[in-house]
Amino acid sequence: MATPADHGFRMPAEWAPHARTWMAWPCRAEIWGDRIEAARASYADVANAISSVEPVTMVCNPDDVIEASLALGSSVEVMPLEIDDSWLRDSGPIFLLDGQGGMAAAHFRFNAWGGKYTPYDKDAAVAAGIVDRVGVQRFEAPFVLEGGAVTVDGLGTAIVTEECLLNPNRNPGMTKEKVEENLAQWLGITRTIWLPQGYEEDETDGHVDEIAAFAKPGVVLALTTDDKDDANYDVLQDNLDILRSATDATGAALQVVELPQPAARDYPTGGRITLSYANFYLCNGAVIIPGFGQSADDRAYKVFREVYPDRQIIQVPAYDIAWGGGCIHCITQQQPAIG
């Protein structure tokens, strides 16, 4: 089977220029319950913020086109396409560039985070619909991988977690060596940095985009907490140690910038809500960061202001998105610009 690497394609960094951002309109009632309208309003806030700096297309079920169109600004395109859920980072395609003016897309298998939600057949096919609309070559991968499970620097380095990528509910029996081979062949990765675990009770089984992200070449933003009684404390400290001792694909040491962890919040029925400032989105000239209505929002804003002095920092209230199990990065997927 020919892979993207065979044709010279690799995944660019998120800070590379974008042609467009793709999103999907909330629709799975069992996730949101009576909070679905609040979730849709928050998704619209994110889409409208991004559309101020680059084009946005919102995929939505045909029955939701009118509602989505009314909630979204006139600069956001609405594309009817059947979906099961609204986390396009994980179900959508990952776009690739070859550095020679060519673009393609990797379409990974999707099984709703290890079969946690059914049905998911429409989401498993949504990448094909998007790629057909864009009109580029689609490489269909023979294994499960969600976009939120990997962060890359565009130079050959990826950060992932063992908890997610070695989880038997994705690709049973897949070894670490095979995962690295797949990342090399499908995303152009030559150096994989492994973190052991992700965020406590994260239903994605430890997606990296809740705990760490490449911010720019050689720089990683990592979630941390000073509260030694917090269930995430030891995990996040281990991540810091690993990242500070790691080198990227060029052999250079990483600069690690700490992000504060928001104060813990639980669902009324129990279980921790995954609140994280590491779940942000880079777009053309701006950074879209979450706010959760607490004092840590200001501290996080200051960190992003220091890391990105040349970008607009747009903080969007995101608690209603996090209620569904993810945040701003989870609901967005970039289409890079060619050239």
Structure confidence by residue, pLDDT tens digits, 164-181: 999 999 999 999 999 999
Residue 65 DSSP label: H
Residue 190 DSSP label: S
Identified catalytic residue from 27, 60, 164, 330 = 330
Amino acid letter, residue 125? A
Torsion of CA 182, 183, 184, 190, to 10 degrees: -140
Burial of 138 (0-12, 13-18, 19+ CB in 10 A): middle
pLDDT tens sequence across 210-258? 999 999 999 999 999 999 999 999 999 999 999 999 999 999 999 999 9
Q: Is the pLDDT of residue 339 over 80?
A: no
What average pLDDT does this structure show over 138-160?
98
pLDDT tens sequence across 56-83? 999 999 999 999 999 998 999 999 999 9
Residue 247 DSSP label: B
Q: What is the DSSP string of 93-139?
A: -EEEE-SSS-EEEEEEE--HHHHTSS--HHHHHHHHHHHHHHT-EEE
Phi/psi at 171 (nearest 5 deg)? Answer: -130, 85
pLDDT tens sequence across 195-222? 999 999 999 999 999 999 999 999 999 9
Our answer to whether residue 330 is catalytic in this structure is yes
pLDDT tens sequence across 99-134? 999 999 999 999 999 999 999 999 999 999 999 999
Spatial contact of 138 and 92, defined as CB atoms under 8 Å apart: no
To which CATH superfamily is domain 4-336 assigned?
A: L-arginine/glycine Amidinotransferase; Chain A (3.75.10.10)
Residues 6+ apart with CB under 8 A from 149: 90, 160, 161, 164, 165, 204, 207, 208, 209
